Amino acid sequence: MKKIQIAIDGPAGAGKSTVAKIVAEKLQFTYIDTGAMYRAVTYQAMQNNVALEDGAALTALATTMAITLQPSADGQLIFIDGKEVTQVVRTPEVTANVSQVAAHAGVREVMVELQQELARAGGVVMDGRDIATHVLPQAELKIYMSATVEERARRRFIDNEQRGIASTLEELQVAIAERDRQDSEREASPLIQAPDALFLDTTHLSIDEAADEILTLAHNKMV
């Protein structure tokens, strides 16, 4: 069977990353977490006191960073210039600011170039917010995953509990709704469903059920 490119887009908390990892593992494809790449830039900017509203400075920073993704038994590891940052890029502070950083066109240009290079050989599952519309418009399979704000907040709440991060459902609902607004209204590659993407509502689906849906579609494209 041929190796294809699978693009999965959707808002925060839709389950994209978890499902994409399962799909990649089942197909023995490479998983590329584009959100982690923008988190890495955000984390590095905060560490170096780069103003998050300064697009030129952030773009310059992004061009000097070596961001690498490495699979492991515990999931994908994220490195900046050889230093592992897997956990620190997922703190609430980074999460609260990543949309602002990702909105800068220059930052997106740098990241998209890297993402396209990683996907060039095919056999990849890539998730994010503009994969089907901008990064991999030629992908053989495009999925737009979503769920209600309430369900996405509930999932984030459980994830935070497991990570030992204090939060409330109400706070998370407000934060996720705001993240949706920022992602969909930004000028550079806003979050939208590609015309040829298949919509997958995961509100009432388990992770395995959502993954199975995509795997079935992928196998049909690979024959």
Write out pLDDT tens, residues 22-59: 999 999 998 998 989 999 999 999 999 999 999 999 99
Q: What CATH number does the domain located at 5-210 have?
A: 3.40.50.300
| Domain residue limits, the chain | 5-210
Q: What is the pTM of this model?
A: 0.82
Give the list of residues 6+ apart from residue 81 with CB closer than 8 angstroms, or none.
Answer: 65, 66
* Alpha helices, H only, 33-75: 34-47, 55-64
Give the count of beta carbons closer than 10 Å to the beta carbon of residue 132.
Answer: 28
CA atoms within 13 A on the CB side of 171: 9
Beta carbons of 190 and 180 less than 8 angstroms apart: no
Amino acid letter, residue 81? D
Task: For residue 78, report the phi and psi dihedrals to the nearest 5 degrees.
Answer: -115, 130
In this predicted model, what pLDDT tens digit does every residue of 50-97 receive, in sequence order? 999 999 999 999 999 999 888 777 778 899 999 999 999 999 899 999
The residue to which tokens 């038994």 are assigned: 73
Q: Which 3 state secondary structure label does DSSP give 6?
A: strand
Q: What is the pLDDT of residue 200?
A: 97
